[in-house]
Amino acid sequence: MNKCILVILMLCGAQAQGQVVFKSLKEVLLYADDHVYNIKASVAQQEVDRSKQVQARSFLYPNVAASSGYTDNLTIQPTLVPTKLFNPNAPDDTYEEMTFGKEHLYNAGVQAQWDILNFQKIFAMRTSEMQAEAGRLNIAKVKYNTYNQLASTYYSILLMQKTLGIYTDNVEVTAALLKSAKDKYAKGVISEGDLNRASIQHLQNLKNREAAENNLQQLYKQFQSQLNTDQEICATGDLEPYLVENTEFNTVNPEIRWQESQVRVSKSVLRQTKALYYPALSFQYQYNYNWATNDFMHLSTANKMPSQYLGVKLSIPVFTGFSTKGKVRQSRSELQIQQMQLDNLRLTKSLEDETLRLQYQQSDNNLNRTKEILTLQSQNDTYTENKYEAGIISLDERLDRYNDLLAAQYNYLQSLGDFSLAQYKVYIRQINY
């Protein structure tokens, strides 16, 4: 096993320039913050939410617009004017054709409107602020879930590398046993059945090692995909050092914090929808200046016609065909759904935390016990090997005792995997996002 680990470390060191090397879980998480798609996308989405927040706030400011224009009356339409306007003695129903206006018209103006009291826009701004805060909490939630996925793969790689080392040692052991069995079979000391049993055990160990090698390659490919990189990855580190000092969770689960923000957003949306019933008050001001002349660009001789007005507009919703009532009912139902999800999430996550504490304690105890058992079983296997080499016991008994060692190895690897799983979950749960 030590030889296998040494080979892995040498390969990582020799190709470090072309690889991404992780020596601890902390290094994996730091790398993930800058490279994993889900985390980068959630950060970008927060910028979108902030832009919407600025946009919603800008709707509360006055709107001011300036305009200007030019009109060339190529043909001024004649108008029929009663003749009596100019000659009282003229007969009735007589008209004179006359034209009014000038050919060139210029205008410039400023328009301003300010919604000084618009509850919809006020609540829309508050909703956008809460959505921006929800975006920040969504980053924490995405990190929390992504960290758990990455930690699972990282420790699976470390466990598979340790498993591969044990399986490599097992191949060496059964190779020596098979060589010895062949020699004894040639001398007529053991039967063909004993030789076949040694061959079967060696083939089984070879198969286990090949499966471990293939699984390790698959895990590395999965790790590359999760980290959003095409660079080769080398994971090193130790599975057994303790990452955590206790199992106390002093921070709120990121998923709960995000769901709380969704409840706040839904409450704000409900208030915003109810604002459809409220009146709106706005000021309007407009100033226009017009020039009229028959000579192009001769503004000095033009007729000047300024105008301006100031208005106050009060809009009171009276009847909207029950559409507002339906929108309020929909918003209230959505709020109830979000609140139910929050209550359910608080309960389930609280139970998950308690379960995680129990799993960590149990897996820690199991690992210590299985390590002791493996140590004792390894010692027994050494004694059994010495007896076999001395001819005290048969090959059949030697293989029986060797199977006891394989069972102890399996239990140790299983306990090590359970402990690693519980430990990284506690560690990630304790991070203050």
* pLDDT at 226 exceeding the cut of 90: yes
104 domain-assigned? no
Structural domains of the chain, count:
1
Nearest Cα to Cα of residue 296 among 73, 66, 78, 68: 73
Domain CATH code at residue 53: 1.20.1600.10
Structural domain span for residue 130: 2-72+118-278+323-430
- Could you read off the pLDDT of 387-428 as tens digits, one per residue? 998 889 999 999 999 999 999 999 999 999 999 999 999 999
Q: In what order do the strands lie in the sheet with 63-72?
A: 63-72, 104-118, 280-293, 303-315
- Write the CB contacts of 210 (distance below 8 Å, at least 6 apart in sequence): none
pLDDT at site 17: 52
pLDDT of residue 11: 46
Q: Is residue 391 part of a domain?
A: yes
Q: pLDDT digits over 321-339, tens only?
A: 788 889 999 999 999 999 9
Using only C-alpha atoms, what is the Rg of the chain? 42
Give a yes or no: residue 78 inside a domain.
no
- Residue identified by tokens 């706005």 is 282
Q: Give the whole-angstrom CA distance, residue 153 versus residue 25.
A: 11
- Give the pLDDT band of residue 22 (cuts 50, 70, 90): very high
Q: Answer yes or no: is 422 within a domain.
A: yes
- Cα–Cα dist 82/89, whole Å: 12
- Please, how many CA atoms are within 13 Å of residue 287, restricted to the half-sphere of its CB? 4
Q: How far apart are CA 271 and CA 332, in angstroms?
A: 10
Report the alpha-carbon distance of residue 161 to residue 152 in Å, rounded: 14
> By three-state DSSP, how is residue 413 classified?
helix
Query: Is position 92 within any domain?
Result: no
**Tens digits of residue pLDDT in 132-187:** 999 999 999 999 999 999 999 999 999 999 999 999 999 999 999 999 999 999 99
Asked if residue 230 belongs to a domain, the reply is yes
d(CA 224, CA 230): 6
Q: Please report whether residue 296 resides in a domain.
A: no
Residue 317 belongs to a domain: no
Q: What is the pLDDT of residue 298?
A: 72
